[in-house]
Copies of this chain bind each other. A is one copy, B any other.
Amino acid sequence: MTRGVRKGLSKEVILKAAFKIVESGGVETLSMRRLGSELGVAAMAIYNHFPDREQLLDAMAESALAEITPDEQKGNWKKQVTNVARSVANLSIEKPAVFALCMSRPTKPKAAVVLMSKVLEALRQGGLSDKEALACYHSVLILLHGFPFWQAGLTKYCAASPDSIATADLSEQEKRDWKLLHTVDPAKQFEASLALLLDGY
- B residues less than 8 Å from A152 (CB atoms): 106
Q: How far is the CB of A99 from chain B (nearest CB, A)?
A: 11
A141 an interface residue at 8 Å Cβ cutoff? Answer: yes
- Across the interface, name the chain B residue whose C-beta is closest to A199: B200
A98 an interface residue at 8 Å Cβ cutoff? Answer: no
Contact between chains at A190 and B142 (CB < 8 Å): yes
- Across the interface, name the chain B residue whose C-beta is closest to A107: B156
Q: Given A107-B156, A170-B113, A196-B196, is A145 in contact with B150 using a C-beta cutoff of 8 Å?
A: yes
A104 an interface residue at 8 Å Cβ cutoff? Answer: yes
A81 an interface residue at 8 Å Cβ cutoff? Answer: no
- B residues less than 8 Å from A146 (CB atoms): 103, 141-147, 149-150
Cα A156 to Cα B181 with chains together (Å): 34
- B residues less than 8 Å from A157 (CB atoms): 108
Contact between chains at B106 and A153 (CB < 8 Å): yes
Contacting chain B: which of A1-9, A63-71, A129-137? A129-137
Contact between chains at B180 and A130 (CB < 8 Å): yes
- Across the interface, name the chain B residue whose C-beta is closest to A114: B174
A192 an interface residue at 8 Å Cβ cutoff? Answer: yes
Contact between chains at B113 and A178 (CB < 8 Å): yes
Q: How far is the CB of A88 from chain B (nearest CB, A)?
A: 12
A110 an interface residue at 8 Å Cβ cutoff? Answer: yes
A197 an interface residue at 8 Å Cβ cutoff? Answer: yes
Residue from A152, A177, A184 whose CB has the most chain B CB atoms within 10 Å: A177
Return the CB mask of A188-201 against B: 1 if under 8 Å, else 0.
Answer: 01101101110110
Q: How far is the CB of A122 from chain B (nearest CB, A)?
A: 13
A48 an interface residue at 8 Å Cβ cutoff? Answer: no
